[in-house]
Amino acid sequence: MYLIKSNGYNVEIGTKIFKSISSLITKNKYSSHFIICDENTFQFCLPSLIHKCPNLRDAHIIELESGEASKAINISTYVWETLIENKADKNAVIINLGGGVVSDLGGFCASIYKRGIDFINIPTTLLAMADASIGGKTGINLSVLKNAVGTFSQPKGVFINPDYLNTLPAQHYKNGLAEIFKIALICDKNFWNELKNTDTNSSKELLLLKSVTLKNKIVLKDPFDNGYRKTLNFGHTIGHAIESMLLGTNKELLHGEAILIGMMVESHLSFQKKLLSKKELQEVFSLLKKVFEPQKINELNLTSIIELMKNDKKSQGNKFQFALIDKIGSCKFDVIISDSQIKKAIDFYNSTF
Amino acid sequence: MYLIKSNGYNVEIGTKIFKSISSLITKNKYSSHFIICDENTFQFCLPSLIHKCPNLRDAHIIELESGEASKAINISTYVWETLIENKADKNAVIINLGGGVVSDLGGFCASIYKRGIDFINIPTTLLAMADASIGGKTGINLSVLKNAVGTFSQPKGVFINPDYLNTLPAQHYKNGLAEIFKIALICDKNFWNELKNTDTNSSKELLLLKSVTLKNKIVLKDPFDNGYRKTLNFGHTIGHAIESMLLGTNKELLHGEAILIGMMVESHLSFQKKLLSKKELQEVFSLLKKVFEPQKINELNLTSIIELMKNDKKSQGNKFQFALIDKIGSCKFDVIISDSQIKKAIDFYNSTF
């Protein structure tokens, strides 16, 4: 069992988290309990959670459809109306049992219901364990804009059970792995070197411990995203635009798949800005391609990408500001980039296939 | 010109606020400006605002329908989509030009758009000047639940121009006056005595200065509503329930009108709990009836009121906790009250007609 201290709460990693969840719930004397899940966690994770935490037996279950489409305002309204119908007061708690969609939406709903009630995250995907459920960001999408509205709100606790990963399809495991490689790239060269030699399918608990610890350090330094935390956006400016562009087409990507391409394209931006050497650029491409086997994206349309980036939360006016690695294991932010540099980087990415 | 220091921002009262608004906007170098108004402030307040603040000439105008029905999730979504369409980034600002509906909704939209952008309140009704635009509470209604979702978020500044009150119908002036009398009742006996002898239609600026200063002291002591601030709820537990109950009927009340009845009913609760003497109860009823001329409410249905109160943000489980004056100018909170005591208090209110 590992315990990482974050912003007023703990992240616990291990297969014995259920006792801690039970204690936290008992200690806080919540007036009512609401568990948000999707059809997958309803089937695979909820029964054992309730079995191992008997004080959740009376919990109200709110089941969402899995997938990004649930991170929406109408689903939030459905959650709030369910809370109201069941007379949830300010001392109610929401338990988010699921991936990033569940914790982003559930945290958002909790953080503004009656101006804020408690919530607890039990992430069930690697992406949520390594990234989404830590750092206090919540949010939902509006039309094509990811996390268009949201809050900075800390959970009362994050409980990570690596056993949940055994039920995850390989594609979803890699989806989370992308964020773990990102953390290594932006802040820990040794971890990157370890990843080169690790069978990422074993030693999941240690991978998680390492990446959660690294992400936690970054968010503690800058809880409201005013400076250093922006380094976490490496790969995300291009990645989000690609994700939005392909949303709803038959080429739709998972978040981690889009971020992976984003990291490769943005590494070339680093190279163009003379932040990254050619040798390190090749090292990044070579390891990411070996582990993730990404595809060439013929649909990459520069004009759409630029338009989507203009509406990204990270953009400020008409300048494009990127978080870019300046060597493996280190990252700068607010680097100004032009349209034509983006085009060059995308062309380079596609030319490597 | 009066200036009151609040939680990280100033409240300015006077007819020369426009220069301060201009300076604040210039100083912060906002990337774009959005003014939220309703059809009334669009007509009566917007032209002079833009005339006197030339740096708002390029502002995007978002016009809502006046009335409580606009404090809704679909209207919030409309505001967010307008921000997105106009490429509002994290450095955009929202200026709320209107009554409590505009500042509650506009503050809410600003506080969670891209996890928070700045907003400025220019209240145009007495209710908003004296109450809604101060204290950092934002929110919208869901189904019948007032302020079902919301945030604690401080504006960058509150600018009160008492001249706006001259365009207000008498009913709306009294609507705000109710909150001013409430402030006196809960925390300042001298102010209450002044109100007895004041022509409330003159000396508006001084009335505002006094009530804003008193409310500001309370919210600074307890910004997140964990204790002492609950005294501001005096009159609101019953008042909100009455307001919700009559919403959409031909007996619909303004917020201040409902709160006024709430204060009278709850004063009787104080009397029943032996917090308030019979003499002071009579003094409260006599002055409030003289100034406000409230009506008997035959529609008061105890069962509906109890049901609505159970879902009030202030309720905790099945107990009813009230903020009750324990003499004129002083208030307790978390006083436990039963159904039958509420019935008695409502019966008493109606028996005085």
Chain B contact set for A310 (CB, 8 A): 87
Q: B186 and B323 share a domain?
A: yes
Q: Is A221 on the interface with B (CB under 8 A)?
A: no
At residue B252, the pLDDT reads 87
Q: Is B226 on the interface with A (CB under 8 A)?
A: no
Beta-bridge partner residues of A11: A4, A158
In chain A, residues 136-165 whose CB comes closer than 8 Å to chain B: 137, 139, 142-143, 145, 147-152
Q: What would the mean pLDDT of A8-27 be, rounded to a whole number?
A: 95
Residue B332 — pLDDT band, cuts 50, 70, 90?
very high
Considering A167, A186, A209, which residue would you say is the last residue of a domain?
A: A167
The DSSP code for B316 is B
How many beta carbons lie within 10 A of that of residue A314, not counting itself? 20
Q: B314 and B175 share a domain?
A: yes
Identify the residue among B311, B313, B319 best suited for mutation to test binding to A, counting A beta carbons within 10 A and taking the highest: B311
User: Under an 8 A CB cutoff, do A114 and B310 touch?
Assistant: no
Nearest to A81 among B77, B143, B317 (CB): B143
Residue range B17-46, pLDDT digits in tens: 999 999 999 999 999 999 999 999 999 999
Name the average pLDDT for chain A. Answer: 93
Q: A192 and A328 share a domain?
A: yes
- Could you write out the DSSP letters of every residue in A185-214? HHH-HHHHHHHHHS-TTS-HHHHHHHHHHH
Distance of CA A28 to the CA centre of its chain: 28
In chain A, residues 31-50 whose CB comes closer than 8 Å to chain B: 31
Q: A127 and A232 share a domain?
A: no
B21/chain A closest Cα distance in angstroms = 22
Do the Cβ atoms of B76 and A137 come closer than 8 Å? Answer: no
Q: What percent of chain B has pLDDT over 70?
A: 98
At residue B181, the pLDDT reads 97
> Closest-CA residue in chain A for B142?
A81
Q: Is A315 on the interface with B (CB under 8 A)?
A: yes
Q: Reduced to 3 states, what is the DSSP secondary structure of residue B34?
A: strand
For residue B6, what is the domain's CATH number?
Answer: 3.40.50.1970
Chain A contact set for B225 (CB, 8 A): 115
Q: A193 and A152 share a domain?
A: no
Chain B contact set for A84 (CB, 8 A): 142-143, 145, 148, 311
ipTM, 2 dp: 0.90
Q: Which two tokens stand for residue B91?
A: 């450095």
At residue B197, the pLDDT reads 87
Q: Which residues lie closer than 8 Å to A286 by C-beta, 6 or more apart?
A: none
* A313, pLDDT greater than 60: no
User: Under an 8 A CB cutoff, do A148 and B313 touch?
Assistant: no
Chain B contact set for A146 (CB, 8 A): none
b/e sequence B69-87, b meaning 16+ C-beta within 10 Å: ebbbbebbbebbebbbeee
User: Under an 8 A CB cutoff, do B313 and A90 touch?
Assistant: yes
Residue B317 — pLDDT band, cuts 50, 70, 90?
low
> Closest-CA residue in chain A for B307?
A87
User: Looking at A68-77, B89-98, B200-209, which range is the least confident one?
Assistant: B200-209
Chain A contact set for B107 (CB, 8 A): none
Determine the Cα angle at A180 with ends A175 and A181, to 5°.
95
Residue range A275-292, pLDDT digits in tens: 999 999 999 999 999 999
At residue A218, the pLDDT reads 95
Name the average pLDDT for chain B. Answer: 93
Residue A158 — pLDDT band, cuts 50, 70, 90?
very high
Q: What percent of chain A has pLDDT over 70?
A: 98
Q: A249 and A152 share a domain?
A: no
Q: Reduced to 3 states, what is the DSSP secondary structure of residue B227?
A: coil
The phi and psi torsions of B301 (rounded to 5 degrees) equal -110, 115
Q: B206 and B333 share a domain?
A: yes
Residue A315 — pLDDT band, cuts 50, 70, 90?
low
**pTM recorded for the entire structure:** 0.91
Q: A184 and A247 share a domain?
A: yes
B12/chain A closest Cα distance in angstroms = 26
At residue B315, the pLDDT reads 61
Q: What would the mean pLDDT of A23-36 be, rounded to a whole number?
A: 97
Residue B136 — pLDDT band, cuts 50, 70, 90?
very high
Residue A296 — pLDDT band, cuts 50, 70, 90?
confident
User: In terms of pLDDT, which residue wins out, A318 or B268?
Assistant: B268
Q: Which residues lie closer than 8 Å to A94 by C-beta, 6 or more apart?
A: A34, A35, A36, A106, A107, A109, A110, A117, A118, A119, A120
Considering A167, A202, A233, which residue would you say is the last residue of a domain?
A: A167
Residue of A174, A60, A164 whose CA lies nearest to A106? A60
Q: Which two tokens stand for residue B165?
A: 């009150």
Chain A contact set for B311 (CB, 8 A): 84, 87
Q: What would the mean pLDDT of A230-244 be, rounded to a whole number?
A: 93
Residue A312 — pLDDT band, cuts 50, 70, 90?
low
Do the Cβ atoms of B36 and B99 come closer than 8 Å? Answer: no
At residue B318, the pLDDT reads 64
* A314, pLDDT greater than 80: no
> Closest-CA residue in chain A for B312?
A89
Q: What would the mean pLDDT of A168-177 be, rounded to a whole number?
A: 89
Q: Reduced to 3 states, what is the DSSP secondary structure of residue A304?
A: helix
> Closest-CA residue in chain B for A84?
B311
User: Under an 8 A CB cutoff, do A148 and B310 touch?
Assistant: no
Residue A302 — pLDDT band, cuts 50, 70, 90?
confident
Q: What would the mean pLDDT of A62-85 be, rounded to a whole number?
A: 96
Residue range B242-288, pLDDT digits in tens: 988 887 888 889 889 999 999 999 999 999 999 999 999 999 999 99
Q: Is A352 on the interface with B (CB under 8 A)?
A: no
> Closest-CA residue in chain A for B72?
A77
Residue B312 — pLDDT band, cuts 50, 70, 90?
low
Identify the residue among A29, A30, A87, A112 best suited for mutation to test binding to B, counting B beta carbons within 10 A and taking the highest: A112
Chain A contact set for B151 (CB, 8 A): 112, 115-116, 151
Q: B161 and B141 share a domain?
A: yes
> Closest-CA residue in chain A for B76?
A73
Q: B36 and B124 share a domain?
A: yes
Chain A contact set for B81 (CB, 8 A): 142-143
Q: Is B313 on the interface with A (CB under 8 A)?
A: yes
* B1, pLDDT greater than 90: no
Q: Which two tokens stand for residue B23?
A: 């300076």
A32/chain B closest Cα distance in angstroms = 9
Q: What would the mean pLDDT of A5-19 be, rounded to a whole number?
A: 94
Domain that holds residue B309: 170-351
User: Looking at A104-118, B73-87, B191-205, which range is the least confident one?
Assistant: B191-205
For residue A239, what is the domain's CATH number?
Answer: 1.20.1090.10
A9/chain B closest Cα distance in angstroms = 19
Chain A contact set for B316 (CB, 8 A): 31, 89-91
User: Under an 8 A CB cutoff, do B147 and A115 touch?
Assistant: yes
* B314, pLDDT greater than 80: no
Residue range A184-193, pLDDT digits in tens: 999 999 999 9
Residue B316 — pLDDT band, cuts 50, 70, 90?
low
User: Under an 8 A CB cutoff, do A115 and B143 touch?
Assistant: no
Number of domains in chain A: 2
At residue A316, the pLDDT reads 61
Considering B167, B202, B229, which residue would you say is the last residue of a domain?
A: B167
Backbone conformation region of residue B42, classed left if phi is above 0, alpha if psi is from -120 to 50, else beta: alpha
At residue A122, the pLDDT reads 97
Alpha helices in chain A (DSSP H): 17-28, 39-44, 46-52, 73-85, 100-112, 126-127, 170-187, 189-197, 204-221, 236-246, 255-272, 278-292, 302-310, 339-351
Q: A27 and A121 share a domain?
A: yes
User: In terms of pLDDT, which residue wins out, B319 or B246?
Assistant: B246
Q: Is A319 on the interface with B (CB under 8 A)?
A: no
Q: Is A348 on the interface with B (CB under 8 A)?
A: no
Residue range B145-189, pLDDT digits in tens: 889 999 999 999 999 999 999 878 888 899 999 999 999 999 999
User: In terms of pLDDT, which residue wins out, A312 or B217?
Assistant: B217
At residue B228, the pLDDT reads 94
Amino acid at B330: S
User: Under an 8 A CB cutoff, do A147 and B115 touch?
Assistant: yes
* B53, pLDDT greater than 70: yes
> Closest-CA residue in chain B for A153?
B115
* A51, pLDDT greater than 70: yes
Chain A contact set for B31 (CB, 8 A): 316-317
- Positive or negative: CA dihedral A215, A220, A224, A229: negative
Q: How far apart are CA B103 and CA B109, in angstroms?
A: 10
A82/chain B closest Cα distance in angstroms = 11
Q: B347 and B270 share a domain?
A: yes
Residue A202 — pLDDT band, cuts 50, 70, 90?
confident
At residue B304, the pLDDT reads 83
At residue B244, the pLDDT reads 83
Chain B contact set for A317 (CB, 8 A): 31, 89, 91
Q: Which residues lie closer than 8 Å to A74 by C-beta, 6 or more apart?
A: none
Q: What would the mean pLDDT of B66-85 be, rounded to a whole number?
A: 96
